[in-house]
């Protein structure tokens, strides 16, 4: 069976989320910091009057901060079951259609926290598409317990 994924990049990681979970992609959007919030919470965004928490995937994957010279990050707004959520990523990619036959468990090369955030991977012709486990990405309490 074929599925479509919205792809994006965080550092060198090539990641994807099923397109049905993405509400919209925002570029160069203002993020308001939240003092004393979990370090993974980049801040809040105001999307047409709706306040949405923005989780930074660089922090979740324990990657260094973006350089000031880098392009502004991209925000993926996800349609959660009860509320809208958003992810801050380095840049968006294309929508790809992949076959389930190409799906494998998370690679052994991923670090422990990164491995928990990945459902598995699709082997593509020239790359590896890592499928993000959205439930674990937004489970910040569990991430705090390991720090």
Query: How do the domains of the chain map onto residue ranges?
Result: 2-145
Residue 142 has a pLDDT of 60
Q: Find the distance separating the first CA and the last CA of the chain, reported in whole Å.
A: 39
User: CA 126 from chain center: how many Å?
Assistant: 21
How far apart, in whole angstroms, are the C-alpha atoms of residue 128 and residue 135? Answer: 21
Instruction: Evaluate if residue 146 carries a pLDDT over 50.
Output: no
CATH superfamily, domain at 2-145 = CheA-289, Domain 4 (2.40.50.180)
pLDDT above 80: residue 29: yes
| Confidence bin at 89 (pLDDT 50/70/90) | very high
pLDDT at 8: 97
Average of per-residue pLDDT values in the chain: 89
Mean pLDDT in residue range 69-87: 87
pLDDT of residue 13: 93
- The answer for residues whose C-beta is within 8 angstroms of residue 67's C-beta and 6 or more apart is none
> Are residues 66 and 74 in contact, defined by beta-carbon separation less than 8 angstroms?
no
Q: For residue 19, report the phi and psi dihedrals to the nearest 5 degrees.
A: -60, -30
pLDDT reported for residue 147: 42
Q: Is the pTM of this model over 0.85?
A: yes
């Amino acid at each position: 069976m074929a599925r479509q994924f919205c792809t994006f990049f965080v550092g060198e990681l090539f990641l994807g989320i099923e397109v049905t979970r993405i509400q919209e992609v925002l570029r160069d959007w203002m993020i308001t910091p939240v003092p004393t919030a979990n370090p993974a919470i980049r801040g809040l965004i105001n999307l047409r009057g709706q306040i949405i928490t923005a989780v930074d995937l660089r922090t979740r994957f324990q990657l260094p901060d973006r350089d000031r010279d880098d392009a502004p990050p991209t925000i993926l707004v996800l349609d959660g079951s009860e509320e809208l959520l958003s992810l801050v990523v380095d840049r968006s990619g294309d929508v790809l259609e992949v076959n389930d036959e190409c799906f494998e468990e998370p690679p052994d090369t991923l670090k422990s926290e990164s491995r928990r955030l990945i459902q598995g991977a699709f082997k593509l012709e020239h790359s590896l598409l890592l499928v993000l486990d959205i439930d674990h990405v937004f489970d910040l309490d569990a991430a705090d317990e390991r720090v």
